């Protein structure tokens, strides 16, 4: 698309927010996260397809992993070239042309990003948050979304952490404290 050929921003009361799903797995303990992340990526790909068929918008909020002179497509290409789980998750969850992408500098998808303004302009009221890691970026993004008044679903099968204990504790916390729905996407018939 050339400059000046802007597509209209989709209106979507329910938005799928994918947090750090395009990931090089190049950090301490990445080996602990990788197998859980691949299972979550497969579940997330199925959820993303269902959300798209239902007409819900998808927004990627991805770390730039310290590559300040890159954009999202550079991060995506780098993950594809790395091979292994980074390439597999990148292939499973590469954005479609209609998806929206923002880069985030810290853990929360809201911190120092245009996400809140974007969601407001989309008329979003409910977020479905999936991604990595359940107990860090997903949880902090969900907490910030809660503070902004969004209804939340964090499908437990579409997130991953370095251990099942960390994931369970984070999901339990989000359900108890911010009243997020943490039900599994694979068992859910209705998305919104």
Alpha-carbon gap, residue 111 to 114, rounded angstroms = 9
User: Where exactly are the structural domains of the chain?
Assistant: 14-187
* Cα-to-chain-centroid distance, residue 173: 18
Q: What is the pLDDT of residues 98-123, one digit of tens each?
A: 999 999 999 999 999 999 999 999 99
What's domain 14-187's architecture? 3-Layer(aba) Sandwich (3.40)
pLDDT, residue 6, reads 65
What does the pLDDT look like over 8-52, one tens digit per residue? Answer: 899 999 999 999 999 999 999 999 999 999 999 999 999 999 999
Is-above-0.75 flag for pTM? yes
Strand residue runs (E) in 11-125: 14-19, 57-63, 100-104
Q: Report in angstroms the alpha-carbon separations of 154 from 40, 170, 174, 175.
A: 12, 10, 8, 9
């Amino acid at each position: 698309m050339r400059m000046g050929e802007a597509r209209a921003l989709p209106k979507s009361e329910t938005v799928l927010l994918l947090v750090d799903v395009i990931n090089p797995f190049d950090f301490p303990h990445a080996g602990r996260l990788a197998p859980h992340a691949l299972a979550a990526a497969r579940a997330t790909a199925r959820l993303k397809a269902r959300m798209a068929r239902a007409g819900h918008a998808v927004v990627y909020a991805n770390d730039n992993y310290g590559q300040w002179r890159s954009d999202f497509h550079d991060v995506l290409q780098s993950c594809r070239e790395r091979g292994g789980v980074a390439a597999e998750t990148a292939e499973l969850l590469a954005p479609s042309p209609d998806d929206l992408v923002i880069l985030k500098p810290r853990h929360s998808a809201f911190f120092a990003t245009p996400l809140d303004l974007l969601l407001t302009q989309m008329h979003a009221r409910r977020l479905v948050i999936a991604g990595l890691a359940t107990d860090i970026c997903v949880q902090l993004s969900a907490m910030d979304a809660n503070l902004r008044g969004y209804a939340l679903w964090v499908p437990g099968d579409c997130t991953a952490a370095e251990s099942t204990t960390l994931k369970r504790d984070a999901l339990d916390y989000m359900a108890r404290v911010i009243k997020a729905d943490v039900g599994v996407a694979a068992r859910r018939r209705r998305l919104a």
